Amino acid sequence: MLWAMILFAITYVLMLVFGKFRTYIALGSALIFIVSGMLPFDQILPSIDFNVLLMIAGTMGLVKLFIDSKMPALLADMIMSKVPNVQIAAVALSLFAGIISAFVDNVATVLMVAPIGLAICKKLKTNPVPFIIAIAVSSNLQGAATLVGDTTAIMLGSYANMSFLDFFWYQGRLGIFFAVELGAVVSASILAWLFRREKGAVEKSNERTVVTDYVPTVLLLLSILLLITASFIPNKPEITNGLICVTLLAVGLVYTWFKSRALASVIDPLKTIDFETIGLLLGLFLMIGGITHMGVIDAAAGLLAQLGGGNVFWLYTVIVWASVLISAFIDNIPYVATMLPVVTGLAGALGIDPTLLYFGLLSGATLGGNCTPIGASANITGIGILRKEGYTVKNKDFFRIGIPFTLAAILPAYLYFWFIFG
């Protein structure tokens, strides 16, 4: 286990220091995990989240058709007509992404909203890096708001037998949705402060971009509807969301072919699929599979239990903030899967209802990924989009937004849960 921890730590340091080579570093580390036996061959495929990889590939191609239709440019025109300056445009777009992400996977949300942000920045002639980072972290925040917002929320709902409405009203009290929204309001004020120097007026124009084809927009909206619908289906295949996105891309490509009869119209959307981002995620999935197999995550869960002692408030505090820290570096899905039975056991030993600890775990694990540029799939996706546009995201660029945003979002939720469910 020690060697797995050392390799994992060295890999993350190298990825943070050498940002341009993150994909190769992650894949190289994954190879070491496999060759050394820390990730057995029979655990390779189970460690890979094919659902996320298929979602990214399918949605990226679909978004290319969406962009070519000029719909993002029209939406940018509409948003710009309603906001007074660049600062408010950034905050409004982030809140918009958050609302969508409460019902749709975070990665899909970033892929859908980022083109609008890029179109706005192009019209305003401003740097899109902070815009896209703000969209990514806002998407991560809202993932815990509803049962269908994020995989970890679905896991909690299944484990605790919670329904969609339980996230709004649970045990006669306001549920986790309102804690997340409270955090969203506070974090939006932080974004407004971070963008305080972006006071450039948004030029108003009566001219609107003309959309050339509404079919890609219909397909994208259909993907949102199908993703929401699929979240209510019990015992569905794990790659359901990915298959939805890939299938709709195939439909879009067939439609484009019949419309243009040009091979380029089919090949161009496929070229936009960011295989570098997919490679980075693949490497991370395998690394996390390795440390999970070697017992690192189980050890972390046991350590949290020891640190919590027998005091409910201290235990709750440790679970929330340790989850934030751990999820900044470790994928929150295996972490939450491991911690749910641990939390249940701790609550049982103390003779308390586990709800407080459940919600603290979910909020901390969901938001922790916003602390680092490689802490969440949505962040990796957003940075990949910027890279394809020719922009380099430095660690300090991400930390400047991600860390204060995370603290502003988690503090209100932390206090909310204690006073409501403590």
Q: What is the per-residue pLDDT across 406-420, written as a single tens digit (0 to 9) for each? A: 999 999 999 999 999
Task: Give the helix/strand (H/E) hosting 174.
Answer: strand 173-174
Averaged pLDDT, 201-230: 80
Residue reference for tokens 């039975």: 341
Distance, in Å, from the CA atom of 57 to the CA atom of 278, rounded to the nearest integer, reads 8
Cβ(366)–Cβ(376) below 8 Å: no
For 118-172, the pLDDT digits (tens) are 888 888 888 899 999 999 999 888 878 887 677 778 778 767 877 778 889 888 8
Q: How confident is the model at residue 117 (pLDDT cuts 50, 70, 90)?
A: confident
Most confident of 69-78, 154-163, 181-190: 181-190
How distant is the alpha carbon of residue 253 from its chain centre? 27
Residue reference for tokens 């072919």: 257
Cβ(113)–Cβ(135) below 8 Å: yes
For 325-335, the pLDDT digits (tens) are 888 877 676 67
Residues 6+ apart with CB under 8 A from 38: 3, 4, 7, 32, 290, 291, 293, 294
pLDDT at 415: 94
Query: Which phi and psi (to 5°) does residue 140 adopt?
Result: -65, -40
How distant is the alpha carbon of residue 308 from its chain centre? 28
Res 370 pLDDT > 80: yes
Other Cβ atoms less than 10 A from the Cβ of 183: the count is 26
User: What would the two tokens of residue 78 be?
Assistant: 């509409």
3-class DSSP state of 143: coil
Distance, in Å, from the CA atom of 349 to the CA atom of 310, rounded to the nearest integer, reads 9
Residue reference for tokens 């019902």: 103
pLDDT at 229: 81
Distance, in Å, from the CA atom of 154 to the CA atom of 147, rounded to the nearest integer, reads 5
**Quick one: residue 195, left, alpha or beta (phi over 0 = left, psi -120 to 50 = alpha)?**
alpha
Res 247 pLDDT > 90: yes
pLDDT at 304: 65
Distance, in Å, from the CA atom of 181 to the CA atom of 145, rounded to the nearest integer, reads 7
**Residue 422 amino acid letter:** G
